[in-house]
Amino acid sequence: MSFGSELKAFAAKTGGKLEDVAREVVLNVGRSVVEKSPVGDASYWKSPPPPGYVGGRFRANWQHGFGLPANGALDDIDASGGASIAHIQSGVEGNPAAGIHFISNNLPYAQRLEDGYSSQAPQGMVSLTAIEFKEIVNISVQKAKQ
């Protein structure tokens, strides 16, 4: 099967709502990595936290980029992940569906967390989301059909 025929089959499967599906997939990928992200809990730490420490900076640093990944780290705190998901949704809705969407975290310890450093996320966030990608797409297609 050629790429063109695969694309036509996908378009038929989504009822012509490719843009809705694409946006929903990107948003749900972003939501997945945010929700899987650990939030610093000093009760697990071997050393005391710095004065005034509040967990949630890692979750706050999931950013959406279109065409290029976002650069730089944010100083925000978002332990619930709600603000991060809202920012990702705003980026997804504010850009064309067709194109390359990036969900990235630029904190220097992001790769370490992805590699299992946190007992809250021993299998990472991105790798688990990648495993769930097909299901994310299927759910997005079903939602578009409604």
For 18-50, the pLDDT digits (tens) are: 889 999 999 999 999 999 999 998 888 889 999
* pLDDT computed for residue 141 by the predictor: 87
30: part of which helix (H) or strand (E)? Answer: helix 18-36
Given this model, what pLDDT does residue 15 score?
Answer: 59
Q: Find residue 101's DSSP bridge partners.
A: 66
pLDDT of residue 18: 85
Domain count, the chain: 1
Q: pTM for this structure? A: 0.87
pLDDT at site 87 = 98
Question: What is the predicted pLDDT for the residue at 145?
Answer: 79
Question: Which pLDDT belongs to residue 133?
Answer: 96
What is the pLDDT at residue 54? 93
Q: In degrees rounded to 5, what are phi and psi of residue 107?
A: -70, 145
Which pLDDT belongs to residue 6?
65
How confident is the model at residue 4, as a pLDDT? Answer: 59
Phi-psi region of 118 (alpha: psi -120 to 50; beta: other; left: phi over 0): beta
Strands in the chain per DSSP E: 62-66, 101-105
Which positions of the chain have pLDDT values less than 70? Answer: 1-8, 10-16
Q: Which domain holds residue 132?
A: 3-145
